[in-house]
Amino acid sequence: MLPASPPSDRPPAEGAPLVSVAIPTRGRAVWCAEAVASALGQEGVDLEVVVALDGDDPETRARLEALADPRVRVVVQAAAGRSAARNLAWRSTRAARIAFLDDDDRLLPGSLAARLEALARHPEAVLCHGRALPMDASGRPRGDAGPDPRSARGRPYDALVAQCKGRSILPSTVLVDRTALERTGGFPEDLPTGEDWLVFLRLSAGGPFVALDAPVVLYRKHEGQVRWDPAQQEAALPTLLARWFDDPATPERARPYRRRLEARLTAYVARNYRRLGRLDDARRCLRVAVAKDPRLLLHPRRLRNWLGAVLRAT
């Protein structure tokens, strides 16, 4: 059997690996096994993989046991949602650096070593991320693979400003400092979506991020992804903004960006409505976004969509 830890137990730090890979999962046994295998295949890195089951799942357990690798541990919780599982996963790890990996994604070769080296070169940074290479539901990459992460060098930047302007980071691309992550309080478990954005906003207050100009993960696009559910995104947006901008711990220099971030996130919701063919909702959100920040119209495609929305409303 794979070693397991109850939710209340945190493994000892003594003898900890260099990096931990935290994978939350529910009902994706085949994809989860692929994700774990991609982590175990990372060369030159002393690592562990902690898989958090959101509700016990015998099939996923069996597939992970078949990997027969002592670096894999499984922790289990009663079904409580993605954020709770992700929190359980990273809080059950032992390393000072934590890599997030969703159960439907796969790490690219060399991506952990590249991000570890980038953080070592920039000790002031709290997080390193790269780009995501999309793949379809069957696991076939889509588009140009881009440069090898092993040849990429990291570029530190002011993450606070970038996040407040609406920059998005895919969790599976992230390697984060454990202490910085603990200061955020983890992923809010009452938000149906946008919880990762709130964590990255809070992390950005703790120091710069390092960006690798190379893909570090294969990101699977498929039906049913919460990330693309615009109705949930729109509903969660006021809470997300309030928890960041109304928090006394939020740096003062972030506060002037509230309207701008709200506009960018609303435009993002509009785009996702448009992808689903819900054009009335897309137009409504786009009009709201542009009213809050007319600079959105500097993007030619967004200007075309906004003009179309206005003309159809008249």
Do residues 128 and 235 share a domain? no
pLDDT at 150: 81
CA distance 23 to 85: 8
Domain count, the chain: 2
Do residues 204 and 239 share a domain? no
Do residues 270 and 195 share a domain? no
> Domain containing 21: what range?
4-226
CA distance 297 to 314: 19
Cβ partners under 8 Å of residue 30, min gap 6: 63
pLDDT at 225: 55
Cα angle for residues 229, 231, 234 (degrees, 5° grid)? 110
Do residues 233 and 256 share a domain? yes
Read off the CATH number of the domain in which 106 is found: 3.90.550.10
CA distance 116 to 152: 12
pLDDT at 271: 92
Do residues 165 and 304 share a domain? no
Do residues 109 and 132 share a domain? yes
Contact 312, 303 (CB under 8 A): no
Do residues 111 and 50 share a domain? yes
pLDDT at 222: 66
Q: What is the pLDDT along the chain (314 residues), one digit of tens a residue?
A: 554 444 434 444 567 899 999 999 999 999 999 999 999 999 999 999 999 999 999 999 999 999 999 999 999 999 999 999 999 999 999 999 999 999 999 999 999 999 999 999 999 999 999 999 998 887 787 877 777 888 888 899 999 999 999 998 999 999 999 999 999 999 999 998 999 999 999 999 999 999 999 999 999 986 655 557 899 999 999 999 999 999 999 999 999 999 999 999 999 999 999 999 999 999 999 999 999 999 998 866 656 665 565 555 54
Examine the fold and report which residue of 226, 252, 273 is the final residue of a domain before the chain moves on: 226
> Nearest Cα to 238, choosing from 174, 193, 296?
193
Examine the fold and report which residue of 204, 226, 248 is the final residue of a domain before the chain moves on: 226
CA distance 279 to 144: 30
- Could you tell me where the beta strands, DSSP code E, fall in 110-258? 127-135, 154-157, 174-177, 209-220
Do residues 171 and 263 share a domain? no
pLDDT at 139: 76
Rounded CA Rg of the chain: 20
Do residues 238 and 267 share a domain? yes
SS3 230: helix
Do residues 125 and 201 share a domain? yes
Sign, CA dihedral 180-183-185-188, equals: negative
Do residues 71 and 125 share a domain? yes
Contact 269, 233 (CB under 8 A): yes
Do residues 221 and 241 share a domain? no
Examine the fold and report which residue of 164, 199, 226 is the final residue of a domain before the chain moves on: 226
> Nearest Cα to 87, choosing from 46, 133, 54, 44?
54
